[in-house]
Structure 1
Amino acid sequence: MKTFNLGLAATGLCGALGLASTAMASPIDISGWDCNGNCGTSAADGDITLSPFGNSEYGWISTNDGNDIDGLDVGDETTGSTITSPEFSADEGDELNFYFNYVSSDGGGFTDYAWAQILPDSAAPIQLFTARTTPDGDTVPGFGLPEPDADVTLDPEETPVIPGAPEWSPLGANSGSCWDDGCGYTDWIQASYLFEDTGTYSLEFGVVNWQDTAFQSGLAFDGATIAGTAIGDDPAPTPVPVPASLALMGLGLAGLTLVAGYRRRDAAVTG
């Protein structure tokens, strides 16, 4: 007689359900972003850990192997990199959130800097943050650079650099080196912005060398979302949730039906 182990089957099916419901960390996706210079993604690397957002990789840009760029065009910029998101729509009151971490092997008077800004479809850029190498005081906000928009919240609001020679691969040959006081990294800072107007926008991150092209700086970023949806992701239809109790009941009924089928077949054979 053939037998069917309902308990074993239920255990296997429940295990499969458990695996399907387990949230797995995923890497940031910048495949649809426009890079000018040197951009990439990385898992935790040297001094730069994963961000609090929870992705298994973050994005980065670096002045190492960068291009000639104007940056925020405040004078004496040389080489660097920018990365710009795909266009996205935002409604009035939607919230933009992301994390960033400024990293620099430069110091002294060679005040490299990084920034993020929103690029509206047909208006002036909206400044979100600046970060600048400085031997003393706060690295964020960056001194001598455009002020962040009044609707931007940084957590923490002001951040000095964690000093030292930062170990981080995107700095290239300058990873683990330092020119002078001011080298280091800020650690992860959260930025939030509430949109005042409904419209179409892009998000830009940038980093630039200042006065020379030696001793590189970079910016790590992660978790860029609009109203909880990652920039570049098309919102998917929300599936109707099936309560776990109903799903398990359905599995149990299916198992009992299968057992009954085996018993009828065995009865027919022996009869």
Structure 2
Amino acid sequence: MKLRNTLKIAAFAMASMLAAAPASAILLTGWTGVGNSGTLGADGDVTLSPFGDSQYGYVTTAGGVNGVGLPGVGGTGSATDGSVITSPIFAAEAGDALEFYFNYVTSDGAGFADYAWARLLDADSNEIALLFTARTRDDGGDTVPGFGMPAPVASLTPGSTPIITDDEGGPDWSALGSDSGSCWSTGCGYTGWIQAAYNIGAAGNYRLEMGVVNWTDSDYDSGMAFDGATIGGQVIGEPTEVPAPAPLALLGLGLISLWLSRRNAR
């Protein structure tokens, strides 16, 4: 009897342990992209994010396409090529916290400074909120919002977002392609990981969009890394149901159940 109870407890503990297994690294399952986007691990000047994943997502102008800039945003000049990635639809209640980390990286600057952004969209891809834009400044000030850009509606931690320069030249990050390690002018570098947070105003279905675009020309690329996108604490795009246990764990539970059934049959 004692052994049987012990095995029951062990089976329950095994099932609980499997159910509590931590989420895997960001895979961008269900996200849709235009241009160049994907996932990377710690790479050059871009470390892993504070969220704790073993990789992060990114968008970059290297290998981007035309027509992805924000209409009416950017000041004198025009957007050229860039990339956008959009999350799958997620449901949110009024007051739910939308949170994620980002790290803006650029090899451009001066009058040709590129920009990145994050937007909250509805299920039909209409803009609900321009959460922030990131762009360098000649005076070394904050990249959010950067020069000629709208103020963010998301709150940022830390609140100060200056570019971190690389003493050896431009930022080292493979997502910049052949421009990794290059720099056009004042403003090249990266922000480091910054957390953005925004409270949803009304219950509904939404999408999260990340984008980056070259400005005026297509030289000297820029990009943005992102990670830890959650709504109300739930990872966006991650199933809410408990994932199926691993095959070996299922085998172990099956053997325990078989032993108990044979004992009860005697």
- Structure 1 counterpart of 2:37, from 36, 39, 57: 39
Aligned positions of 1:183-222 closer than 5 A: 183-222=188-227
Larger Rg: 1
1:91-131 Cα offsets, whole Å, 9 max, x none, are 10111110000000111211100000101236543011110
Cα separation, 2, equivalents of 1:43 and 1:67: 24
Cα separation, 1, equivalents of 2:196 and 2:216: 28
Cα separation, 1, equivalents of 2:187 and 2:61: 17
Deviation at 1:21, TM superposition (A): 8.7
Cα separation, 2, equivalents of 1:237 and 1:162: 41
CA contact (8 A) 2:32 2:85 kept: yes
Inter-CA distance 104–226: structure 2 relative to 1 (3 Å threshold): same
Deviation at 1:25, TM superposition (A): 6.8
Deviation at 1:20, TM superposition (A): 5.6
TM-score, with structure 1 as normaliser: 0.77
CA contact (8 A) 1:69 1:208 kept: no
Whether 2:107 is the aligned partner of 1:133: answer no
Cα separation, 2, equivalents of 1:232 and 1:25: 11
Deviation at 1:229, TM superposition (A): 0.9
- Structure 2 counterpart of 1:144, from 139, 145, 148: 148
Cα separation, 2, equivalents of 1:180 and 1:59: 27
SS in structure 1 at match of 2:184: coil
Q: Provide the identity percentage.
A: 53
Aligned positions of 1:99-248 closer than 5 A: 99-121=101-123, 124-135=127-138, 136-149=140-153, 152-164=154-166, 165-236=170-241
Inter-CA distance 93–22: structure 2 relative to 1 (3 Å threshold): closer
**RMSD of aligned Cα (Å):** 2.8
SS in structure 2 at match of 1:171: helix
- Structure 1 counterpart of 2:99, from 88, 91, 97: 97
Deviation at 1:26, TM superposition (A): 2.6
CA contact (8 A) 1:100 1:221 kept: yes
Cα separation, 2, equivalents of 1:22 and 1:180: 49
CA contact (8 A) 1:141 1:158 kept: no
Cα separation, 2, equivalents of 1:119 and 1:25: 25
Cα separation, 2, equivalents of 1:172 and 1:181: 20
Which residue does the alignment assign to 2:249?
A: none
Q: Which stretches in structure 1 are left out of the alignment for 5+ residues?
A: 1-5, 239-250, 259-271
